[in-house]
Structure 1
Amino acid sequence: MALTKFGFIVTGDRFVQYQGTDNFSMKVVGVREPSEGIAAAKDMVAEGIQLIELCGGFSPVWAGKVIEAIDYKVPVGVVAYGQESIDAMYRLFAQ
């Protein structure tokens, strides 16, 4: 089976956006808090999303909560930032 439905959940502000082609679609959901990612992930699984990726705003703890909440039905990955990005990330979110 090919990947045809991808989901991405990002922390920031609430929104829903769809993008794609005839062969591939992506749903991007914005949430204000990582806790809201649980409902977003459940909706994605119900819609047939095959793979979910979480932005770097989700800690490993919240990623685990999302995975458990969807009962391991689809793979869930987490964007991570390397050591070289830590200072810039701090400056970005300290404002």
Structure 2
Amino acid sequence: MALSKFGFIVTGAGFEPAGKRVVLSSEAFEMIAVGVPAPADALVVARQLASEGVQLLELCGGFGPVWTAKVIEAVGPGVPVGSVGYGPESIDVMHALFKA
């Protein structure tokens, strides 16, 4: 079975807890990107995406390992969950983006 439905969840200030969706699709592939205000809000969204047939779920780097593990637990073993990571060459730039 080929990958035909992919989900991506990103955190960002101002997104609604229910998740704002953007869908990109072709005849053979659909990507659903959902924005949530905080990692905790992704648990419901991840379960919903899994129930809609998403075959693979990716999380933005803001989730970190703890929330990634919680999303994995929330969706169960049927949907692989991964998370974006940044190498050491990006640490200074990432820090500048998120410092208060």
Structures share fold, TM-score greater than 0.5: yes
Question: Which residue is 1:82 aligned to?
Answer: 87
Q: Deviations over 1:49-86 (max 9, x none)?
A: 00000000011010000000111220001000001111
d(CA) in 2 for partners of 1:72 and 1:90? 33
Gaps of 5+ in 2: none
Q: Which portions of structure 1, spanning 4 or more consecutive aligned residues, are displaced by more than 2 angstroms?
A: none
Question: Which residue is 1:63 aligned to?
Answer: 68
Query: 1:6 aligned to 2:10?
Result: no
TM-score when normalising by structure 2: 0.91
Is the partner of 1:59 in helix, strand or coil? helix
**CA RMSD of the aligned region, Å?**
0.9
Question: Which residue is 1:21 aligned to?
Answer: 26
Q: Deviations over 1:21-76 (max 9, x none)?
A: 01100000001100111111101001000000000001101000000011122000
Gaps of 5+ in 1: none
d(CA) in 1 for partners of 2:44 and 2:8? 13
TM-score when normalising by structure 1: 0.96
Match of 1:53 among 55, 58, 74: 58
Kindly provide the amino acid, as one letter, of the partner of residue 8 in structure 1.
Answer: F
- Count how many residue pairs are aligned between Structure 1 and Structure 2: 95
d(CA) in 1 for partners of 2:76 and 2:4? 21
